[in-house]
Amino acid sequence: MNNRYSGKIRKVMTFALAASLTVGLLAGCSSAGKVKDSKEEKVLRIGMLYGSNDDSWFRQQYTDIYEFNNNVRIEIVPAVDQSEFRYRDYSNNEQYVEPDYFEGMKKLMTGNNPVDIIIADTGTLKRLAEENLLKPLDPMIQEDKFDTSDIVPVVIDTLKDIGGDNKLYGLSPTFSSSALFYNKKVFADAGIEPPTDGMTWDEVFDKARMVSKGEGKDRVFGFSFNRYLGSDPYWDMHSYVTPLELRVYDEKAELMTVNSPQWQKVWDTISKLAKDKTIPSSANMNMEEYYSEDNYSPINGDLFLSGKLAMMISDGYYINEIVEANNNADKIKNYSPVDWDIVTMPVHPEKPGIGSNIWIGNTFSINSAAPNAETAWDFIKFVNGEDFAKLRSRSNSYEMVSRKSFITPKAGQSYNIDAFYQLKPVPPASAAEEKLARDIPGLYNITNSGRPHFQEVLEDKKSVAEALKEWEEKGNKMLLELKKNPKAQFNEDGSVFEMH
């Protein structure tokens, strides 16, 4: 499973109750033949990248209904048992070593009792496909006439791209996406046309400058990378940088690559937006004005609901919060319901059709050495089929179902829901990049170390060119240290972190 989901999935309401109420809907839908009619119980083994003895969440989400309606017993096997970290001896101050999840999964797939199905993120799916460890699903899809035409392009096209040969090595019943939310009233009051689908980042920033107005706590910012007070532009610009696939250091982690025209354009763009107060930051906002007792409100920390943002980026789940606030408007001091809509995430002209903050959910694949490939395919059809999508679409979660027919506006609202599935996600990191990050964990500190230099730009202490040059020099020293000691960790100033 993708680690980026780890914080979100625990917030998703399990639908065990829904399952019990809708058995009639799903009974018999998973198998039209052999699996359902089999008198002999089949055992289906599912391999996951990580887990523990408590697999109740996954079972409630995916397997309970299938087992109830089929003579199949499902075993869930993690490549890495996370419970071991709880009992590890940390008293000797040994540095944590990231387990190799991929190698662990390969052992599950090639051992004496191989798993049938693999649940993984798109990066792992790509590596497994490249090593010919997965069965292509296309022949089974064609033989069973399994309909994939209703699966949104953001999912199906991304999965076809992963293997490099336009074949499907996995399917995913869900995805997570973001969009550009905008306040209709702010644009109407300014006499400016609101944003539209397919706009570039520069076009969005131009509109943001035109609608920014006011001072102090009355300031309305034209744009923000999120809805929160006290934003940090250095980290916020991740959404802007990620689709460009700019590197902080080279592929061998030997030399910094930030002192370049591309990075200079990024820093020039974002720092100017912050200094002009087009985007909020802790440097251009007085937190006390927002958090004073006189101004207290349950929506104070949300700039969009507070009417202080013309545009901002958020995911589909945020719609629930807007609806809740609007429904309780009479209970919130000085609050007027927000009139809003969404459009697609901005894109870069050099990376058309690629959006940030978009992820494919868990992918379901079949081990090329699966002992029970037929049952594995039957289960994959079930979790990616129409009936499952209909049931899953009722959950008010962070994820959306992959089938377009069941992606509908929430809570009776009317908005441009197509914006969530028009763009494709950034391609997954290469195996070499993942190995570098795992083998040299201190590389993350190099990314962190750029923040004080960007801060100096915001405070007009350094030019962008000077700041990037200094970051390059500091980063090169850190890379040199990592070459001598791959497990070294660093402070933000680039000095080696000493464990005591």
| d(C-alpha 233, C-alpha 147), whole Å | 44
Tell me which residue of 203, 437, 186, 200 sits closest to 304, measured CA to CA: 186
| d(C-alpha 341, C-alpha 60), whole Å | 34
Q: CB-based contacts of 149: which residues, under 8 Å, 6+ apart?
A: none
| d(C-alpha 302, C-alpha 304), whole Å | 6
Per-residue confidence of the chain (500 residues) as pLDDT tens digits? 444 333 333 333 333 334 443 444 444 444 445 566 667 899 999 999 998 888 999 999 999 999 999 999 999 999 998 887 777 776 666 666 778 899 999 999 999 999 999 999 999 999 999 999 999 999 999 999 999 999 999 999 999 998 778 999 999 999 999 999 999 999 999 999 999 999 999 999 999 999 999 998 889 999 999 999 878 999 999 999 999 999 999 999 999 999 999 999 999 999 999 999 999 987 766 656 655 556 677 888 899 999 999 999 999 999 999 999 999 999 998 899 999 999 999 999 999 999 999 999 999 999 999 999 999 999 999 999 999 999 999 887 789 999 999 999 987 899 999 999 999 999 988 888 888 988 899 999 999 999 999 999 999 999 999 999 999 999 999 999 999 999 899 998 899 987 65
**Domains recognised in the chain with CATH numbers:** 3-176+358-407 (3.40.190.10), 178-343 (3.40.190.10)
| d(C-alpha 322, C-alpha 412), whole Å | 13
- 185 φ, ψ to 5°? -65, -40
Q: CB-based contacts of 249: which residues, under 8 Å, 6+ apart?
A: 255, 256, 257, 443, 446, 475, 479
